Amino acid sequence: MAVGIFDSGLGGLTVLDAVAKRLPDVPLVYYGDSAHAPYGVRTPDDIYDLTTKATQRLFDAGCDLVILACNTASAAALRRMQEGWVPEGKRVLGVFVPLIEALTERQWGDNSPPREVNAKHVALFATPATVSSRAFQRELAFRAIGVDVEAQACGGVVDAIEDGDMILAEALVRSHVDALRRKMPDPDAAVLGCTHYPLMEKEFQAALGPDVKVFSQANLVAESLADYLDRRPEMIGPGTQSVFLTSGDPGQVSSRATQFLRRQITFDAA
């Protein structure tokens, strides 16, 4: 029926928004698992179980293609899902690769050997589960050499955003950037490796200063999805309407989503 977009909660709306702008004719089904957010403090098995359940819900809603618009799920569950769980005729894609291709100045699907790139000192801001998976460093090592990565687990930021407490989220961003700088005083690039963080992108950029190039995923993922659907148009499937599903309280989630995207978003119970 449509392309599915999954996140543990509201963060994937940053990806949904960019996709809806880039591909206005593609119907989307968004599933935010707000009842179980944040994923970033859960174990890999737990993240795998929750992510497969949510993805199945999106398959049941008629989606043949599901984007895990959640770095934590992409880092902790995607490979295992692709290796033994995704049914015939369905596809599940993550959000790491488009970001790493941009950081390493590569075109889609360029599988040439790793090479030197402009970014030498990269700060990665992500959830504790994403940081401990080391998935970012692994994907990067396939494509680039000589890049020093310092990862900062940003505890608390996702909870604050899900709770709508943007003052707390901003204070936490500043303290995580300070902690990163104690380990890497002069990063030349910073990766916002959690789909919730673009909601705080201005605050990250302000704390990092103007000399640090901040990579944020939403537009990169939208561009790479557009490219993928050009090559595999059958994955769009029929359907006309976008739908928003949540495992949380639909009224509360709708009002936060409307506040974040500055347009009316109405969630239904999943």
Where along the sequence are the contacts to ligand DGL (CB under 6 A)? 7-9, 11, 37-40, 70-72, 127, 130, 158, 194-196
Assess whether 70 carries a catalytic annotation. Answer: yes
Instruction: Select 236 or 244, whichever has its Cβ closest to ligand DGL.
Output: 244
Instruction: Select 122 or 191, whichever has its Cβ closest to ligand DGL.
Output: 191
Place of tokens 């974040």: 260
Instruction: Select 117 or 129, whichever has its Cβ closest to ligand DGL.
Output: 129
From CA 172, how far away is CA 74, in angstroms rounded? 24
How far apart are CB 113 and ligand DGL at their closest, in Å? 29
Instruction: Select 74 or 254, whichever has its Cβ closest to ligand DGL.
Output: 74
How far apart are CB 4 and ligand DGL at their closest, in Å? 16
CA neighbor of 192 nearest in space, from 183, 179, 205? 205
How far apart are CB 40 and ligand DGL at their closest, in Å? 3
How far apart are CB 210 and ligand DGL at their closest, in Å? 25
Nearest residue to the partner ligand DGL, using Cβ: 40
Out of 3, 194, 200, 253, the active site residue is: 194
Assess whether 63 carries a catalytic annotation. Answer: no
Report, as residue numbers or ranges, the catalytic residues: 70, 194
